[in-house]
A and B are shown apart, each in its own frame.
Chain A
């Protein structure tokens, strides 16, 4: 019998090795797998490379993982924010490496990893310093830069509902990087707010088929200003 349901976050994250590349979903307040990041802090893996759109906000979640000294390198599109003080301090102290990637290239490089693409020519960033020294080519008169996939050892994502086969649905703009990150990692752990009986998720509405998911774990819905779902008053 297939049963991807983990009974705790600790159970789902056990065995995460030092040096792992961890893809972490979320954009702004939506879709951040905060409980899974807390679980990774507790689990203890270090020397991590983290891939996220941002580089942590405030002092919780990804910022707490950075503050705990677990992250060697971050790959993201927008590290600088009003409340990114943890990253800012580490970066200025030379204690974290930054690979800055245009947001669409970040998403497509992750998708490419999941889709088995070796590299792809992309127009974004051509002629800018973010193209670095990578190979360029003119195709049908338009210039492109060669971009390589970003593979994860582990992906941590947040979804809305899941079942024991790992099928997932999402909620509103909390979907963001979840579906592509789920495809691109050797192991994908999804926090869900509801676990459905097999067959109860509408097959037409499943966004991430279970083939891309290793473990799901139930996460309480919390009312919060800072992230995730805000309960109706």
Chain B
């Protein structure tokens, strides 16, 4: 049996945060990626972008101080840091598409070894589709990172040779941070960056089902 422990959600967020450099402009996707903001190492100045027209987004306000004209992409009340700015939606997405955002962190259903991303739809019959800003972010940021559990609840790898769910973008993911290991997607396939303590490469390759270059 395994002698390793999965990263908790907070440990995973901290692992992602460790790679965000001083001065970066970062967009954190809705859901799990928003946790990354709580783990940015002290001393690094990072500017958070929110797709609804905010740069320099700060943490949630204290109870009773909510302003519903100041919300994040997940529609929760936030604050503005000194130096922050507001702008309209077309400018906000120009920041993404124009390559002005350094890093975006997104969740995913599947990522292919070469960085194709599927994170907006499971293609399930009868489901109501919704895409939001996922395609714009995935395609536009200088680096797109994914954070997710490596395996589905059924034990299947979410890192795949080819995505079976509808695509969000082609060859757009640079790095994948998971509860078991960190990977880089390259045109030649997956490269292993790190694993949790006690997880052997051979065991990880067996779980992923794909070759991992060093």
A interface residues with partner B (beta carbon < 8 Å): 27-31, 77-81, 84, 87-88, 91-92, 98, 100-108, 110-111, 122-130, 170-180, 207, 224-230, 233
> Number of B interface residues, CB 8 Å?
41
Select the residue from B51, B89, B96, B167 with max chain A CB neighbours within 10 A: B89
Assess the B135–A30 pair: CB atoms within 8 A: no
In order of increasing CB-CB distance, the 10 nearest A-B pairs are A104-B93, A104-B136, A28-B75, A107-B89, A80-B130, A29-B68, A102-B135, A127-B170, A103-B133, A111-B90
- Shortest C-beta distance, A232 to chain B (Å), equals 8
Assess the B54–A173 pair: CB atoms within 8 A: yes
Main secondary structure of the interface of B (DSSP, over half): loop
Query: A27's contact among B52, B97, B128, B136, by CB below 8 Å, is which?
Result: B52
Assess the B88–A175 pair: CB atoms within 8 A: yes
Assess the B90–A107 pair: CB atoms within 8 A: yes
Chain A residues whose CB sits within 8 angstroms of the CB of B86 once the complex forms: 170, 172-173, 175
- Please give me the residue from chain B that is nearest to A81 by CB atom: B130
Q: Does B182 contact A (CB under 8 A)?
A: no
Q: Does B166 contact A (CB under 8 A)?
A: yes
Query: B69's contact among A81, A103, A229, by CB below 8 Å, is which?
Result: A229
Q: Does B4 contact A (CB under 8 A)?
A: no
Mark contacts of B94-138 with chain A using CB atoms, 8 A cut-off: 1 yes-contact digit, 0 otherwise: 101100000000000000000000000000001011111111100
Query: B53's contact among A105, A128, A176, A229, by CB below 8 Å, is which?
Result: A176
Assess the A30–B71 pair: CB atoms within 8 A: yes
CA distance A228 to B167 in the complex (A): 35
Given the known interface contacts A29-B71, A233-B64, the answer about A77 and B132 at a Cβ–Cβ threshold of 8 Å is yes
Q: Does B197 contact A (CB under 8 A)?
A: no
Query: B68's contact among A78, A79, A227, by CB below 8 Å, is which?
Result: A227
- Shortest C-beta distance, B90 to chain A (Å), equals 4
Q: Does B70 contact A (CB under 8 A)?
A: yes
Assess the A88–B128 pair: CB atoms within 8 A: yes
- Shortest C-beta distance, B194 to chain A (Å), equals 30
List 24 contacting pairs A-B, 8 Å CB cutoff, sorted by A: A29-B71, A30-B69, A77-B133, A78-B132, A79-B128, A81-B130, A101-B131, A102-B133, A103-B51, A103-B93, A104-B92, A108-B94, A111-B90, A123-B97, A123-B140, A124-B135, A127-B167, A128-B168, A128-B169, A173-B54, A175-B87, A176-B88, A226-B68, A228-B68
Chain B residues whose CB sits within 8 angstroms of the CB of A27 once the complex forms: 52-53, 71, 75, 89
Q: Does B139 contact A (CB under 8 A)?
A: yes
Chain A residues whose CB sits within 8 angstroms of the CB of B132 once the complex forms: 77-78, 102-103
Chain A residues whose CB sits within 8 angstroms of the CB of B45 once the complex forms: none
Given the known interface contacts A30-B69, A104-B96, the answer about A180 and B139 at a Cβ–Cβ threshold of 8 Å is no
CA distance A207 to B90 in the complex (A): 13
CA distance A178 to B69 in the complex (A): 13
Q: Does B67 contact A (CB under 8 A)?
A: yes
CA distance A100 to B79 in the complex (A): 30
Given the known interface contacts A30-B52, A176-B53, the answer about A124 and B136 at a Cβ–Cβ threshold of 8 Å is yes
Assess the B90–A100 pair: CB atoms within 8 A: no
CA distance A99 to B180 in the complex (A): 39
CA distance A101 to B126 in the complex (A): 18
Q: Does B10 contact A (CB under 8 A)?
A: no
CA distance A124 to B139 in the complex (A): 6
- Shortest C-beta distance, B27 to chain A (Å), equals 12
Assess the A230–B66 pair: CB atoms within 8 A: yes
Chain B residues whose CB sits within 8 angstroms of the CB of A78 once the complex forms: 130-132
Assess the A129–B139 pair: CB atoms within 8 A: no
Residues of B160-198 whose CB lies within 8 A of A:
166-170
CA distance A175 to B55 in the complex (A): 13
Chain B residues whose CB sits within 8 angstroms of the CB of A224 once the complex forms: 68
CA distance A224 to B135 in the complex (A): 32
Chain B residues whose CB sits within 8 angstroms of the CB of A124 once the complex forms: 97, 135-136, 139-140
- Shortest C-beta distance, A82 to chain B (Å), equals 10
CA distance A81 to B73 in the complex (A): 13
- Shortest C-beta distance, A39 to chain B (Å), equals 21
Given the known interface contacts A29-B68, A172-B69, the answer about A77 and B87 at a Cβ–Cβ threshold of 8 Å is no
